Amino acid sequence: MAYLTTHKGQPVLILKEGTGRKRGRDAHRNNITATRIIGEVLKTTLGPRAMDKMVIDSLGDITITNDGAAILDEIDVEHPAAKMVIEVAKTQDDEVGDGTTTAVVLTGELLQKAQELLDQNVHPTLIVSGYRKAAKKALEILEETGLAVDLEDHEILKTVATTAMASKNVGGARDHLAKIAVEAVKQITEKKGEQNVADIDQVQIIKKEGKSLLETQLVKGIIVDKEVLHSGMPKRMENARIALIADPLEVKKTEFDSEIRIRNPAQLKAFQGQETHMLRKMVQKIEEAGANVVFCQKGIDDLAQHFLAKHDMLAVRRVKKSDMEKLSRATEGKVVTSLDDLTSKDLGNAGLVEEHKIGEDKMIFVEKCKDPRSVSILIRAGLERMVDEAERAMHDALSVVADVVQYNRIVAGGGAVESEIAKQLREYAPKVGGREQLAIEAFADSVEIVPKTLAGNAGLEPIDILVALRSAHEKPNGYLTGVDVFTGKVVDMHQKGVLEPLMVKRQAVKLAEEAASMIIRIDDVIAAKKTEAPPTPPPRPGAPGMASGMGAPPYG
């Protein structure tokens, strides 16, 4: 280890005892191996005919999925470079909501190819600059091959949603879920100037085991996971006029302790009467505003409940703040902080507010809102794990539809767009020349990992598919050709209905190039000695299972 250096024959101690250090080729090889392993892990989950992973977390909870982001979220990785690749998946998921596996597999492949160039003595700086040029060109190719769609054509948006869900385990319900995703996103889309904005956080997803995926439903409004407060209140209210109140419907307690001496029964009665009077006035105020439904963020006093019930009002208490905000967006009502300010103008409207029993629980559906800016999806499926996978599928479907609504361009999937990028990069490389040309060609080979892996995962021969794709892309209008993993044929993916948002591919290419370049540029890794962890007490007998993290090779 080289943390000692000499100056005029004198040894000089620079780094602390115990510091680990890797330089040059060692540093590269170590980092690249670790990142490639992450790519290898995810490879077998790419595409509709891929395998799933079962991941068990430190508490013994099991997740079965094919979703790249979800898998990497669950596994424990120690190697710093591998952690960077996990960041790639997270960023991809946050930015565009799909294509996480593609981004990670592409990062791994770019690094694998970089390793081969390093072994041929191509300098890392040249690889990085070649990769940068290739990525820039790839983004241009994407823009040129991207097709605009008619956003009023729900069928095409449904196709994009179905493609995103093709790899998720949701069986025969795919069409049904895709339809819901499109309707939900269209409902929450807002125009800001010329730009469409679709914030999928405005789609609330509620999961409940039981029944089947086909019973998953879109509610044009909000589902509140609460029940009607008082048995004397109505459980159903048509043409609801809704008061949204942030304050408690209780008599406020003083902030300091006080003592009231009551000397006779008359005084007690007067005192209690005062409280009753205040609560009665509160309920009166709500009624005067014209409300017949109350959602209160805080508590509602027993007596106030009684008065509300007497006035035939439906009331719910302790509603989450986030639900209050969603209710406000869905019903166009205003959340008032002080009851004194409540007027009829603050009330929200919904065609129907009703308590439903879903499985074992009661929930309140605020539905038939006129033009809600916030909607809910109630996911049903037989098993808990299926409900979870359906939620991930729905997340991907909502994301891709929102992507297209916000940036109206789609590309052909099934490796079509990647094959086209590879082809055009190979034409571009000689124009750059020099050693950078080698890096650009390596980039072209790397993006072909997508069709290769899709084919391999479907039990097809990757090389045969690659050859067929390359020759198809030479033909005029061949740029839409990809591999149909169900028939094993090389066909027009646009006609086949395998379509993806351009945004997903753009983000994947950008992130993979940035992460790969960052790792290639590292030629010295200096790791401080690990501080000793405080001794952990031995697990109690019968305690949940101990950590079983899947680590990349430990660093150093």
Ligand X SMILES: Nc1ncnc2c1ncn2[C@@H]1O[C@H](COP(=O)(O)OP(=O)(O)OP(=O)(O)O)[C@@H](O)[C@H]1O
- Supply the residues annotated as catalytic: 67, 100-101, 396
Provide the minimum distance between the beta carbon of 37 and ligand X in the complex, in angstroms, as a whole number: 18
- Cβ nearer to Mg ion, comparing 98 with 367: 98
C-alpha distance from residue 473 to each of 120, 476, 482, 492 (Å): 30, 8, 9, 11
As a residue count, the chain comes to 556
Binding mask 91-110 for Mg ion (x = CB under 5 A): -------x------------
Among 69, 141, 142, 410, binds ligand X (CB under 6 A): 69
CB hemisphere CA count around 64 (13 angstroms): 9
Provide the minimum distance between the beta carbon of 102 and ligand X in the complex, in angstroms, as a whole number: 3
Residue 500 within binding range of Mg ion, rule CB under 5 A: no
Residue 484 within binding range of Mg ion, rule CB under 5 A: no
Among 39, 48, 248, 462, binds ligand X (CB under 6 A): 48
Provide the minimum distance between the beta carbon of 419 and ligand X in the complex, in angstroms, as a whole number: 11
Please name which of 286, 296, 292, 288 lies closest in space to residue 353, comparing C-alpha atoms. Answer: 292
CA-CA distance, 362 to 357, in Å (whole number)? 4
Q: Name the residue with the smallest CB distance to Mg ion.
A: 98
Please name which of 403, 447, 417 lies closest in space to residue 135, comparing C-alpha atoms. Answer: 447
**32, exposed or middle or buried, with CB in 10 Å at 0-12, 13-18, 19+?**
buried
C-alpha distance across the termini of the chain, in Å: 11
Residue 98 within binding range of ligand X, rule CB under 6 A: yes
Residue 420 within binding range of Mg ion, rule CB under 5 A: no
Residue recorded with tokens 């098993």: 383
Residue recorded with tokens 């361009």: 409
- Cβ nearer to Mg ion, comparing 68 with 462: 68
Q: Are strands 348-358 and 195-197 parallel, antiparallel or unpaired?
A: unpaired
Three-state DSSP string of 221-251: CEEECCCCCCCCCCCEEEEEEEEEECCCECC
Residue 501 binds which entry of ligand X, Mg ion, none, with Cβ cut-offs from 5 to 8 Å by kind?
A: none
Residue 327 within binding range of ligand X, rule CB under 6 A: no
Provide the minimum distance between the beta carbon of 100 and ligand X in the complex, in angstroms, as a whole number: 4
Residue 144 neighbours by CB distance under 10 Å? 10
- Ranges within 138-197 binding ligand X (CB under 6 A): 163, 166-167
User: Which amino acid is present at 268?
Assistant: L
CA-CA distance, 398 to 181, in Å (whole number)? 5
Mention every residue, 6+ apart, whose C-beta is less than 8 A from residue 235: 228, 314, 354, 355
- Cβ nearer to ligand X, comparing 354 with 403: 403
- Ranges within 409-438 binding ligand X (CB under 6 A): 413-414
Provide the minimum distance between the beta carbon of 98 and Mg ion in the complex, in angstroms, as a whole number: 4
Where does this chain touch ligand X (CB under 6 A) — which range of 78-86, 97-105, 225-233, 260-268? 97-105
Binding mask 55-94 for Mg ion (x = CB under 5 A): ----------------------------------------
Provide the minimum distance between the beta carbon of 164 and Mg ion in the complex, in angstroms, as a whole number: 5
Where does this chain touch ligand X (CB under 6 A) — which range of 44-52, 216-224, 288-296, 316-324? 44-52
Residue 454 within binding range of ligand X, rule CB under 6 A: yes
Residue 66 within binding range of ligand X, rule CB under 6 A: yes
User: What one-character DSSP code corresponds to residue 488?
Assistant: T
Provide the minimum distance between the beta carbon of 125 and Mg ion in the complex, in angstroms, as a whole number: 34
Residue 485 within binding range of ligand X, rule CB under 6 A: yes
Residue 421 binds which entry of ligand X, Mg ion, none, with Cβ cut-offs from 5 to 8 Å by kind?
A: none
- Cβ nearer to Mg ion, comparing 34 with 166: 166
Mention every residue, 6+ apart, whose C-beta is less than 8 A from residue 442: 110, 113, 114, 116, 117, 127, 130, 131
Per rule CB under 6 A, count of chain residues that contact ligand X: 28
Provide the minimum distance between the beta carbon of 304 and ligand X in the complex, in angstroms, as a whole number: 49
Residue 484 within binding range of ligand X, rule CB under 6 A: yes
336 forms bridges with which residues in the sheet? 245
- Cβ nearer to ligand X, comparing 92 with 292: 92
Residue 498 binds which entry of Mg ion, ligand X, none, with Cβ cut-offs from 5 to 8 Å by kind?
A: ligand X
- Cβ nearer to ligand X, comparing 87 with 341: 87
User: What one-character DSSP code corresponds to residue 555?
Assistant: P
Q: Are 247 and 339 in contact, with CB atoms under 8 Å apart?
A: yes
Provide the minimum distance between the beta carbon of 122 and ligand X in the complex, in angstroms, as a whole number: 29
- Ranges within 358-397 binding ligand X (CB under 6 A): 396
Mention every residue, 6+ apart, whose C-beta is less than 8 A from residue 291: 241, 242, 243, 313, 342, 347
Residue 403 within binding range of Mg ion, rule CB under 5 A: no
Residue 100 within binding range of ligand X, rule CB under 6 A: yes
CA-CA distance, 387 to 250, in Å (whole number)? 39
Where does this chain touch ligand X (CB under 6 A) — which range of 139-147, 286-294, 480-488, 533-541? 480-488
Task: Name the 3-class secondary structure at 220.
Answer: coil
CA-CA distance, 482 to 465, in Å (whole number)? 9
Where does this chain touch ligand X (CB under 6 A) — which range of 43-51, 264-272, 324-332, 532-540? 43-51
Give CA angle at 480 (140, 399), nearest 5°. Answer: 70
Among 47, 146, 221, 462, binds ligand X (CB under 6 A): 47
Residue 72 within binding range of ligand X, rule CB under 6 A: no
**154, exposed or middle or buried, with CB in 10 Å at 0-12, 13-18, 19+?**
middle
Provide the minimum distance between the beta carbon of 537 and ligand X in the complex, in angstroms, as a whole number: 38
Binding residues for ligand X (CB under 6 A)? 45-48, 50, 66-69, 98-102, 163, 166-167, 396, 413-414, 450, 454, 483-486, 498, 500
Binding residues for Mg ion (CB under 5 A)? 98
